[in-house]
């Protein structure tokens, strides 16, 4: 049976990382993930401007490329998480 995950997260800075996660997923029948960006604080990025979101999204795009290199089908889903917006509002 082929397995897909339409809402997957990976942190290239800690944990398994993209390559190891992709290999493990493939080994259990995985073929596809929809890779969704993590929150800025997962990457130690402080959001002060829209350019800072690009830093967060770049981690996700680079992770997707590494996952594809080991044979996993990956689509990237980017956007600010509602918790990010709440944090920005609270900061003023």
pLDDT value for 91 = 83
Q: Where are the domains of the chain?
A: 3-91
- Per 3-state DSSP, the chain is made up of helix, strand and coil in percentages (nearest 5) of 50, 20, 35
pLDDT value for 10 = 97
What is 6-34 written as a DSSP string? EEE---TTSTT-HHHHHHHHHHTTEEEEE
pLDDT tens digits for 13-70? 999 999 999 999 999 999 999 999 999 999 999 998 889 999 999 999 999 999 999 9
pLDDT value for 3 = 96
For residues 45 and 43, give the distance between their C-alpha atoms in angstroms, rounded to a whole number: 5
């Amino acid at each position: 049976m082929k397995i897909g995950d339409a809402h997957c997260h990976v942190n290239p800075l800690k944990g398994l990382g993209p390559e190891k996660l992709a290999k493990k997923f493939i080994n259990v029948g995985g073929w596809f993930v929809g890779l969704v960006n993590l929150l800025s604080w997962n990457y130690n990025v402080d959001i002060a401007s829209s350019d800072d979101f690009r830093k967060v999204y770049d981690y996700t795009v680079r992770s997707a490329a590494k996952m594809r290199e080991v044979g996993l089908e990956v689509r990237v889903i980017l956007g600010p998480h509602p918790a990010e917006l709440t944090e920005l509002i609270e900061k003023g």
